[in-house]
Structure 1
Amino acid sequence: MTAEALYYLIIGILLLDYLADRILDYLNARRFGDPMPEEVRDLYDQEAYQKSQAYKTVNYRFGLLAATASLLITLAFLISGGFGWLDSLAASVSPHPVGQALTFFGLLFLGGEILGLPFAYYQTFVIEERFGFNKQTPALFWTDKLKGWALAMVFGGGMLVLVMWLYAWVGQGFWVYAWILITAFTVFMNLFYSRLIVPLFNRQQPLEDGPLKDRIYEYARQVGFELQKIFVIDGSRRSTKANAYFSGFGNQRRVTLYDTLIKDLEEQEVVAVLAHEVGHYKRNHILFNLLTSAALTGVTLYVLSLFINHPELSLAIGVDRPSFHAALLSFALLYSPISEITGLVMNYFSRKFEFEADAFARETFAAEPLVSSLKKLSRNHLSNLTPHPAYVFVRYSHPPLTARIRNLRDAEKGRKVR
């Protein structure tokens, strides 16, 4: 395929991706006004439900504006030869291919982040503030941004340097070594993310001794789940929204609870949420996701190795001199439809795994505490109770709230009948 054909293919992919996303958003928005499903009629009074609908509508309109601006900027940069200009600038900064690649992607990253800053700021300090979610100060917002940029440059830049070195060392077979490298990095981050990265942004403290800690350890003992550490994170510094997660493997395994979760839920509801998370471990969902992610990375790198030497990839985005970094960017744009397809498959399995983890929590703890915790979290987050099925299929990694409640209660009824 010629560089010109690839150029128009990239534009077509950008437009089709934008159009597909906007159709999904529109279909979903049309259901904002639907009545509350029977399973969640007790979730909101009329005033609170109107607030929930308003929150979704504002985010829908803001998302449309942000996505349209992003598309127009990307198309303008591509059509006007912006990538070619950026490549020339990178070549003037460094004569070495690695230095050029770091400059090229570094400037591209910073440019995108700077253009996105007004949208991020408005989202946080206008929309989230208006609906009572935001607890961030402007100083914390900017500090988070600077830390995030630094980490992205260190890890992203470091990975790029290593991959390019492997490419220069072994040629087309670099993908095997890059695959091993990226997989090892992924495992490392799974093990030590909570220890190395989280403290840069949040304070973590061991859960205080008391009834909640005792109930968590008692449940873990009953289901044979070795639990080493329980930490509380100060999520309330940034938002009123709550969360909980597991991280690490083996003796590095730890539970992290947001302080907002402890505040919003009763003790048995917190244990039910953790029982759900334990279900992911017991049903090997974590391992499946890790192995699947590694496999998809390997496939992507292999396909990249087949095309990275084709100069047409670089020329397609307006770069005069074929290079690894220009071909990598062009490949990423062309590969995005395949990424969308694999994303659909992964979301399907993720929703399936959520049902299985719910079932584990029901069987080993109880259904109703999990139901009530899901309701409270959904209410506190002003979640969408009536999503469009197509939107769920494409975008949702978790089943809708009503589906989870129905599944939990139907299974519980069936168990009582037997």
Structure 2
Amino acid sequence: MNSDQIFYIIIAIVTWQFIFDQWLDYLNNKTVKTKIPEELEGIYDDDKYRKQQDYKKANYSFGVLSEIVSFVVMMSMLFFGGFAIINSWVTEMSSNATVQSLLFFAIIGLGSSIISLPFSIYGTFVIEERFGFNKTTPLTFVTDMIKSTLLSVLIGGPLMALVIWLYGISGDLFWLYAWMVISGFTIFMTMFYTSLILPLFNKQTPLAEGELRDAIEFFSSKAEFNLDNIYVMDGSKRSTKANAFFSGLGSRKRIVLYDTLIKDLKTDEIVAVLAHEIGHYKLRHTLWGTITGVIQMGVILFVFGLVVGSPLLSKALGVEEPNFHIGILAFGILYSPVSFVAGIFMTILSRKNEYAADAYANGFGLGSALIGGLKTISSNALSNLTPHPLYVFFHYSHPPLLQRIRAIKGNK
């Protein structure tokens, strides 16, 4: 196999991904049922259901345009040697391989941000605003963007520099040392993200004393779950949509409830949602998710370590001398079909875990309250109640509402 053949394989992969994603999006957009399934009746009245359908169509059209632009930019970079041009820039700026790679990805990241910025602005301040979800102010939007960029530079930059340095000194064992570094970083972020990174964007306060706290403490005593770390987050700062999540391991575990969730749901429904999140912890979903991610990363790095120095990969993108940044870029595209298949198994596992967490809450007699809470969350978010099964299979990390309700009720 020569570099030209690899180039056309890369073109084929990028094109196939684009066409496949567009096909799935089209199927999902065309799946419209005028009659809502019996178990979901009452979530939307006629006017709100029409609004939900309009929201779905607006997001579909917007998504198609965004994906077309991304596809055209990528194909232009490939056919007109854009990555080779950027590589020539960075080699002129510095003779240090690590600096070259950091500059390369900084330029790629900057270009990607510039292209995606108009879409981000339109999605937030036009679509989300039109349907009553947006609470983000222009100042918050700009501040978030600046903070995210700084975090990428201050955290992502040194981490990447370390990995590139390891590549230069460790030879065949590069993948192993890189795996150790990235795994350590992954575990650290799993444990400390909500206490170190999230506060830069959202305020978190311990759940106050009162009826809700009492109800949650009563449940937690039955579930034998320590409530030291349960927080309320000001999600309403950016959106009216409600959510809750669990993160961390061991003593660093933390449950976070959006303030919008507390506003929208009844006390027993909030307890049921909390029970679902506790179920993820009790069933070790967070732990096993971290372990699975670490194993996957090890496999990826092992394969990457075998091919990163291949001249064929670099030549496929128009660069004569192989280097780390061109190698990882070409490898990332070539590996994407494998990643796609692995992603299917991960989404299947994720949906299985969601069913299990629902069953955990249901085991405490909270099934009806959980169904009520899920219905309210879905209604307020204008969620699609009847997604296409294939779209669900490939993209949904959570089962659709109808399937969750049937599972909670014991129906198959």
| TM-score tier (shorter) | over 0.9
Alignment of 1:293-312 (within 5 A): 293-312=293-312
Please give the secondary structure, in 2, of the residue aligned with 1:318. Answer: coil
- Report the CA distance between 1:156 and its aligned residue: 2.1
In 1, Cα distance between equivalents of 2:90 and 2:404: 51
**Which amino acid letter does the alignment assign opposite residue 279 of structure 2?**
G
User: Who is 1:345 aligned against?
Assistant: 345
**Which shows bigger deviation, 205-214 or 130-139?**
205-214
Pair 1:29-2:29 in alignment: yes
The 5-angstrom pairing of residues 193-212 of structure 1 reads 193-212=193-212
Amino acid at match of 1:346: M
Deviation at 1:318, TM superposition (A): 1.6
Instruction: Please state if 1:403 is matched with 2:403.
Output: yes
Query: 1:256: Cα distance to partner?
Result: 1.0
CA contact (8 A) 1:275 1:365 kept: no
What is the alpha-carbon distance in structure 2 between the residues aligned to residue 311 and residue 33 of structure 1? 53
**Which digits, 9 at most, give the CA deviation of each residue in 1:255-295, with x for residues without a partner?**
21111000000111111001011111111211211111111
2:249–2:286: 8 Å Cα contact kept in structure 1?
Answer: no
Supply the distance in 2 between the matched residues of 1:155 and 1:341 (Cα, whole angstroms).
29
The residue that corresponds to 1:78 in the other structure is: 78
CA distance in 2, matches of 1:255, 1:351: 20
1:40 and 2:40 aligned: yes
SS of aligned partner of 2:410: helix
Task: Kindly provide the amino acid, as one letter, of the partner of residue 95 in structure 2.
Answer: P
Gap regions ≥5 residues in structure 1: none
State the one-letter code of the partner of 1:13.
I
Aligned to 2:258: 258
- Distance in 2, matches of 1:8 and 1:149, equals 34
Give the residue type in structure 1 aligned to 2:228: Q
Distance 1:193 1:159 in 2: 16
Does 123-132 or 227-236 show the bigger shift? Answer: 227-236
Alignment of 1:256-405 (within 5 A): 256-405=256-405
- Are the aligned partners of 2:206 and 2:231 in contact in 1 as well (CA < 8 Å)? yes
Contact 1:231–1:257 (CA under 8 A) maintained in structure 2: yes
SS of equivalent to 2:31: coil
CA shift, 1:320, in A, is 3.0
Identity across matched positions, percent? 47
Which stretch has the larger CA shift, 238-247 or 96-105? 238-247
2:178 & 2:311 partners in 1: Cα distance?
21
C-alpha separation between the residues in 1 aligned to 2:40 and 2:313?
51
For residues 29 and 45 of structure 2, what CA distance do their matches in structure 1 show?
Answer: 21
**Distance (Å, rounded) in 2 between the aligned partners of 1:148 and 1:253:** 24
1:92 is aligned to 92
Please report how far the alpha carbon of residue 302 of structure 1 lies from its aligned counterpart in structure 2 after TM superposition: 0.4
Q: CA deviation at 1:34?
A: 4.1
- Aligned residue identity for 1:218: F
Amino acid at match of 1:140: T
- The answer as to whether partners of 1:207 and 1:231 remain within 8 angstroms in 2 is yes
Moved more, 191-200 or 146-155: 146-155
Q: Which residue of 2 aligns with 1:247?
A: 247
SS of the equivalent of 2:409 reads helix
The secondary structure found in structure 2 opposite 1:246 is: strand
2:280 partner letter: H
2:185 matched residue in structure 1: 185
TM-align CA RMSD: 1.2
TM-score of the superposed pair, with normalisation by structure 2: 0.98
**Map of 2:215 onto structure 1:** 215
Answer yes or no: is 1:114 the counterpart of 2:85: no
TM-score, length-scaled by structure 1:
0.97
Equivalent residue letter for 1:2: N
Show structure 1 runs of 4+ deviating over 6 A. Answer: none
Note the C-alpha offset of 1:409: 1.3
Is contact 1:56–1:384 with CA below 8 Å preserved after alignment?
yes
How far apart are the structure 1 equivalents of 2:394 and 2:248?
A: 29
SS at match of 2:208: coil
Q: In 2, Cα distance between the equivalents of 1:232 and 1:94? A: 47
Q: Is the 8 A contact 1:276 1:357 kept in 2?
A: yes
Q: Measure how far apart 1:155 and its partner are.
A: 2.3
Aligned-residue offset at 1:166: 1.2
Q: In the alignment, residue 116 of structure 2 is paired with which amino acid?
A: G
Separation of aligned partners in 2, 1:11 and 1:329: 13
